[in-house]
Amino acid sequence: MSLSLERIREFVIAGHGDLAKVQAMLDETPELLNLAHEWRPGDTETAIQGAAHVGSRAIVAFLLSRGAPLEISTAAMLGQVETVQAMLKRDPSRAKHKSAHGIPLLPHAALSGLPEMLELVWRYGAREGVEQALQLAVMQGHTEAVRWLLTNAHPDLSLPNFQGKTPLQVAQEAGFTEIIELLDGGLGGKSA
């Protein structure tokens, strides 16, 4: 069966947050599972990669249950510390892994919300994407991940996200009081 590029694109887009559509499309066309859409030359993305970089755990779980591969970035987002540690022990260069759109491992680890995940990938050399990691941790309300990033990764707090908002502005709009205090307090913020 030949699938149109548009159908693949539609499935990958759904992977970013529309579980019902992902389920329906995959039930209808199982071949979509691991097909990638090429956004621009060299920038390919599968549905599970899209779900992983936006923190869509339910979609990731569904796609994994259907046989999608577990990449290190996906395992990091899910908070699978032992799995990520085993992957890094087997191949330390995986700390430099980049998923769809060139998104590095550290931002995926931030989506887990787990300081121990951040510490693990950082220790192996995942140092790219510090500001993106902070933005994602703030957006998800992951206070302890924010604290870890401020203390250990020293992100530039003035850099805006894709919407032109600083981490502090994102936290203020979401009403994340503890995160606001951390960001206002500068490096390390106030201890809780």
pLDDT tens over the chain, length 192 residues: 568 999 999 999 999 999 999 999 999 999 999 999 999 998 999 999 999 999 999 999 999 999 999 999 999 999 999 999 999 999 999 999 999 999 999 999 999 999 999 999 999 999 999 999 999 999 999 999 999 999 999 999 999 999 999 999 999 999 999 999 999 985 443 333
Distances (CA, A) of 137 to 2, 16, 61, 102, 151: 40, 17, 20, 18, 14
**One-letter amino acid for residue 68 of the chain:** A
Return the sign of the alpha-carbon dihedral for residues 166, 109, 126, 33.
Answer: negative
CA-to-CA distance for 104 and 130, rounded, in angstroms?
A: 9
Q: State residue 188's pLDDT score.
A: 45
Given a contact cutoff of 8 angstroms between Cβ atoms, the answer to whether 52 and 60 are in contact is: yes
Q: State residue 98's pLDDT score.
A: 94
Q: State residue 192's pLDDT score.
A: 35
Q: State residue 1's pLDDT score.
A: 53
Which DSSP letter does residue 57 get? H
In 3D space, the residue among 52, 59, 54 whose CA is nearest the CA of residue 76 turns out to be: 52
Q: State residue 186's pLDDT score.
A: 57
Run of H or E including 48 = helix 47-53
Q: State residue 155's pLDDT score.
A: 95
Q: State residue 181's pLDDT score.
A: 95
Superfamily covering domain 97-192 = Ankyrin repeat-containing domain (1.25.40.20)
Strands in 124-172 per DSSP E? none
164 backbone φψ class: left, alpha, beta (φ>0; ψ -120 to 50): left
Q: State residue 3's pLDDT score.
A: 84
